[in-house]
Structure 1
């Protein structure tokens, strides 16, 4: 790959953020047993120390600017750490044997599974933060404001910090400064099992008795209000109260509409003299604690289940402390996007429901590129804030039969996802070598790499090569796929055109007589003297394409028959510009893409 040149304007600008999501306990695990519901001893577990200098160099190769270490805060797990003063968690309210990373038990410490010495676990994570920074990357961890583990118990909270629920009035369903909601007069009951489900797959455990002591019962994390939630509810968690009354009305000041146009300073000032629910302050203090440890930002789980006003309060407080903090949130309702960005002061949101879902259908052969272009253009000003991804811990692996069945089908989608916008791109560990998520490891179904159980991740393990992190066990196909990812992501992360404008050539090219169809996509990214032409073929057949460039755009870009095209991707694919500068011809093979600098 030819290195992207520096921008000719001053100061030189890099590309855009690249987030590498890694499921921390799986990343460094070399154990290949994958026994369903296997223990830590049977299936192994990765450690903070597995992120060696070599491993971090391999992550950085993908253009990574931020590593999202998923599953770091101490969450409920079945393993016994009582010798370290940690209480036993009850498997009746845990999903899997290793536990959900989104059922946090102690926000002021980290998962003991991840440490070589559990007594020293916080210091080991602090050392990982430092190593990551030394490699020129920043650190993101999860904060899950909507819910916590049913058995929340912080051993490491700073002096004066009480646990969630410790001071609640449990005789009422709701009070503004209660941290939880209560089912008054009833005790919690474990969900009735469905579809032959057995806790721990039926393996014995002294606490696996179908009971969990919680009186009165608390509302469940997804908002279920019954003392006995359904098995499909988030029964391992309890809902946090932000001053939203059971009838949905607010017990806190609302944010005036004009604050959508105001900066974080104004938001911080707005909240400075307000009396607010206790949970707001608890999560602000948690965020400050991790910022002081060197964490550079947060990924917020299910942000739309928490009021926008809280996010205004929290994010403005974070930005006043660290203006460069990276704030990424899950919001799955498109009509809420602008509110959570503008009023809630998020930096970025998942572009899942519109962009990813449409791109997935295109990869599967049923979707239309025109729909994707329309989504991208409709986002308008918020497009740079909509993070793009093809995989994450919630989504199916591209190579799984239920998705595309072949990681190669993700290649054109990667080019589009990573290069179409100024928005960040996120990669999931193992994606770059075609991991298919096919292991049956316990809780949940295959196609998604487990987040609930101890497991090895086979394709990723072949790249890891027993801790050498040199790809030594990869097949030729896997090695070529990773090389492709590196090429594309280096363009995304470092090319100055990534900070420029987007112009689609799709609609204009559909109208000519070439083989261009809804299975191809062409667009231009440009800024200053920097220009990129991106063309990709989602079809499984070779296509001879004639791209049509609208006259005004051709003039603005300075396109003419003498314009030289320098290939940054697929260097053996040549492009020819017509005499008028309004046509570009090229041939792409099956699932092939080309990126040209001109």
Structure 2
């Protein structure tokens, strides 16, 4: 769900306001050969593969705008076969984030298995937003071959993913839930959200929602939007039964939210009073350096709001089923004290749980990491935004050094990505223009720090996201509609998962991702030290280029020099200068040293060290990078 930047102190008052271009294939690369020592040495980088679960296995290519599930098709849990999972694993992936698994509101008929129909006037699209969860103790019935056994089919997918050597991440969305939440399969003793609320008041600490007493909810309207694209439906009548009205998910306190608000959801109350003060215990000073065990111990004798307990229990339910981690939607709209409470409880059950949060306010990063006990945050508003501006010719590369320096103390926590369900596709005309033009951005994202790196399914094939799904807009693969993903479908090849229908440039791009991510996942240097080479080369190196960024990475015996041409238009050639400071760290004296390029299998080059300074010749075509290994 695309969000606005929201400061933690105001989390309750903010309202949200073509045919695929063919790229010129690069020369075939030799496979990267990893030594046993490299494979087994030290910690490894986490590589996350985000997949929109209902789209992955869909073989239907109709792509009718506002198409039904019968017309446009839908993928299933069972489409993630052992072959499919091995192909994902072969990319270097360590974790699969199955997006859209919890049962969310959708326009479909599952009344035969006891699920009520959802009103299209409070559902975005036809397939529905995965961030309007309707039942946290079960999964989307669309994803099951037998909807009645949907939970068992997902449990089988968890086991299958583990068998194929990867871990499982799913979404939890603590800030908001669907307007019509119905827990049909709650464990014994679990009460639905709002079941025990006092609806006569706007706020009470243990209410799960905020209310607008005396006013009924009104369906938002707009001359530019009609549910289901204007199709007639028996439930489209301008009404939705909610009295009193609840605050909307993005914090709107209007009984009739704006059409641009998150009107399909309602805001969860975490004990923040309407004026913004906290109605729960705060963490004492010094807890930013304490362990998750100490955080867990702190909360054991504390009285906390009802919503805290409900979401903790939801998370632990999925941990018990074998889920290895969570991606938290819009985490900064929920107080970090709650995250301390829930994340420490998760870590007590699984110390290795992978906890990733969507946070867009850099001023709050350290609070959510150190006090909220998050493992990872999106590095969106700094590195991602910078790289996007560079490839579009709107910025030079120099500011990357400042970004990395500013995040030096938390760099391992800042997950890097170039594509996800919220953002414009990397290969879209609105971003890079095609997948090949994003190659150098991906090299930098994957190798500049020790943090995890993530790709979004189809990114490795150059998916431009240019389908008109209906509610979803071009340049993003729709998360609201039943659609197909053409480049992915060609690689999927009717379930063979062998690239049998992929175009030549799509095969080349996927091979590039496979080489890059496998190198990244096994290189000790990528999990070691970093030093930027930008400042000295921008100052002293002729023809260096304003869109080039270079740095060194090292650990133990492995030393790397990495140079990325982030321009999609210009070729550059230069002598990369290596300062004496870095050469001393590497214990390198004057002489000549062989360097081997790791991405494209080129002939060896030479690093020449003279008078304590080094130089190596670099030639980079547009969107190309080199990883020189000494």
Query: Could you state the TM-score of these two structures normalised by the residue count of structure 1?
Result: 0.98
- Name 2:322's counterpart in structure 1: 294
- Name 1:214's counterpart in structure 2: 242
SS of match in other structure, 2:51? strand
1:405 shift after superposition: 1.3
Residue 342 (structure 2) pairs with residue 304 (structure 1): no
Contact 2:102 2:130 in 1 (8 A): yes
Q: Which whole-Å CA distance do the structure 2 matches of 1:25 and 1:3 have between them?
A: 35
Q: 494, 513, 535: which one pairs with 2:563?
A: 535
Q: Which whole-Å CA distance do the structure 2 matches of 1:111 and 1:26 have between them?
A: 13
SS of match in other structure, 1:289? helix
SS of match in other structure, 2:563? strand
Q: Which whole-Å CA distance do the structure 2 matches of 1:465 and 1:12 have between them?
A: 37
1:593 shift after superposition: 1.2
1:12 shift after superposition: 2.2
SS of match in other structure, 1:490? helix
Contact 1:72 1:111 in 2 (8 A): yes
After the TM superposition, which parts of structure 1 deviate over 3 Å for at least 4 consecutive aligned residues? Answer: 6-9, 558-561
1:383 shift after superposition: 0.5
Contact 2:62 2:72 in 1 (8 A): yes
Q: 66, 72, 82: which one pairs with 2:95?
A: 66
1:5 shift after superposition: 2.8
SS of match in other structure, 1:563? strand
SS of match in other structure, 1:273? coil
Superposition CA RMSD, Å: 1.2
Q: 494, 497, 503: which one pairs with 1:475?
A: 503
1:300 shift after superposition: 0.2
Matches within 5 A, 1:98-109: 98-109=127-138
Q: 602, 610, 620: which one pairs with 1:588?
A: 620
SS of match in other structure, 1:226? coil
Matches within 5 A, 1:259-408: 259-408=287-436
Contact 1:24 1:46 in 2 (8 A): yes
1:17 shift after superposition: 0.2
For these two proteins, the number of residue pairs brought into alignment is: 596
Residue 606 (structure 2) pairs with residue 576 (structure 1): yes
Worse-superposed segment, 64-73 or 552-561 = 552-561
Query: Could you state the TM-score of these two structures normalised by the residue count of structure 2?
Result: 0.93
Q: What's the CA shift string for 1:51-78, capped at 9, x where partnerless?
A: 0011101111111100000000000010
- Name 1:226's counterpart in structure 2: 254
- Name 1:41's counterpart in structure 2: 70
Q: Which whole-Å CA distance do the structure 2 matches of 1:376 and 1:409 have between them?
A: 23
Contact 2:32 2:519 in 1 (8 A): no
Q: Which whole-Å CA distance do the structure 2 matches of 1:12 and 1:408 have between them?
A: 32
Q: 422, 426, 429: which one pairs with 2:457?
A: 429
Contact 2:57 2:79 in 1 (8 A): yes
Q: Which whole-Å CA distance do the structure 2 matches of 1:175 and 1:326 have between them?
A: 33
- Name 2:531's counterpart in structure 1: 503
- Name 1:414's counterpart in structure 2: 442
Worse-superposed segment, 173-182 or 553-562 = 553-562
Q: What's the CA shift string for 1:227-253, capped at 9, x where partnerless?
A: 000000000000000000001001101
Q: What's the CA shift string for 1:69-90, capped at 9, x where partnerless?
A: 0000000010100000000111
Contact 1:573 1:587 in 2 (8 A): no
Q: Which whole-Å CA distance do the structure 2 matches of 1:464 and 1:279 have between them?
A: 41
Structure 2 unaligned segments of length 5 or more: list them. 1-30
SS of match in other structure, 1:582? strand
1:531 shift after superposition: 1.2
Worse-superposed segment, 499-508 or 327-336 = 499-508
1:533 shift after superposition: 1.4
1:7 shift after superposition: 4.4
Q: Which whole-Å CA distance do the structure 2 matches of 1:585 and 1:551 have between them?
A: 17
Q: What's the CA shift string for 1:19-55, capped at 9, x where partnerless?
A: 0000000000000000000000000000000000111
Q: What's the CA shift string for 1:301-331, capped at 9, x where partnerless?
A: 0000000100000000110111010000000
- Name 1:157's counterpart in structure 2: 186
Q: Which whole-Å CA distance do the structure 1 matches of 2:133 and 2:174 have between them?
A: 10
- Name 1:178's counterpart in structure 2: 207
Structure 1 unaligned segments of length 5 or more: list them. none
Matches within 5 A, 1:13-92: 13-92=42-121
1:546 shift after superposition: 1.2
Q: 582, 590, 593: which one pairs with 1:563?
A: 593
- Name 1:2's counterpart in structure 2: 32
Q: Which whole-Å CA distance do the structure 1 matches of 2:254 and 2:64 have between them?
A: 35
Contact 2:592 2:606 in 1 (8 A): no
